[in-house]
Structure formats: structure tokens, C-alpha cells
Amino acid sequence: VAGPISTGLPPNSIAVMSDDKIITAVLEEAAAVPQAARLMNAFPNPFNAGTQIPFAVEGGQGQVSLVVYDMLGRQIRSLVDGLMPIGSHAVIWDGLDDTGAVVGNGAYLVELRTGALRATGKLMLLK
């Protein structure tokens, strides 16, 4: 529509015009999810002071989580929880839990999760 439209409203008012044949929708932007991710072998493993956990995000940046669990499935430490770009990454786990307490000797699982994709590795802490 071009030119002034008479609405009968006073100046500086807003008029909303509608046409029942037009459908307007606002779509929520979906969170980005990588198409693929790889969890590589941690090194050193077994470890005593810290271990490097390498992983790769492929096919697009997106939401990634990397979490250490004990063998009973309890979360010990969240190492990554956020948007990660495409490429190779590495995180060092220092043998501490989420509160900063030293965890005991033993086997732990590390899980890389990107949407529905999951990869799991095993870590052995020896002090």
C-alpha cells in the first residue's frame, strides 16, 4: 500500500490493518546441534594428576556437553556445557568433582553428548 491511509484516528496513532487471507507465524529458532562428534582416547590414561580429553565437533557448531560420571552413573564433573564451534577441542580433567573436591582412585566414564548423539570413554584415576 502506498500513500496515506485514512483511519479516522488522531495523529501519531498506530493502526493495525489485517487481511484474513494472510497467515503470519513466528518460528522459534531451534538450538544448533552438530551433525557429528567424536570422542578420542584420553591421555595419559591411567592418570594421576590430570588427563587430556580430546574431542571433535563436525558438521556444524552446536550445543555440546562433556561430563565425567562415576561407575554408578552419578555426575562427578561437568567439563563442557555450551555452544562449541566446528573443529578439534581438548579439555583437561584434574581429578576434581564439581565442588572442587578430590575424587578417589578408580574407573570413571566420560560422556560426550550433542543432541541425540552420545559417545562414551573410560578413564582410570590412580593416585
Asked if 60 contacts 86 with a C-beta cutoff of 8 angstroms, the reply is: yes
Query: Cell for 78?
Result: 561437568
Query: Cell for 38?
Result: 567424536
Side-chain half-sphere CA neighbours of 71 within 13 A: 8
Q: How far is CA 16 from CA 5, 7, 9, 11, 104, in A?
A: 11, 10, 11, 14, 66
| Short-list 73, 61, 46, 67, CA closest to 118 | 67
The set of residues, in sequence order, having a beta carbon less than 8 Å from that of 86 and lying 6+ positions away, is 34, 57, 58, 59, 60, 61
Share of residues in the chain with pLDDT > 70 (%):
72
Q: Which CATH number fits domain 36-125: 2.60.40.4070, 3.40.50.2300, 3.40.50.300, 3.40.50.10490?
A: 2.60.40.4070
Q: Binning pLDDT at 50, 70 and 90, where does residue 3 land?
A: low
Where in the chain are the domains? 36-125
Specify which residues 102 forms β-bridges with. 96
Q: Give 81-112 pLDDT, tens digit per residue.
A: 999 999 999 999 999 999 999 999 999 999 99
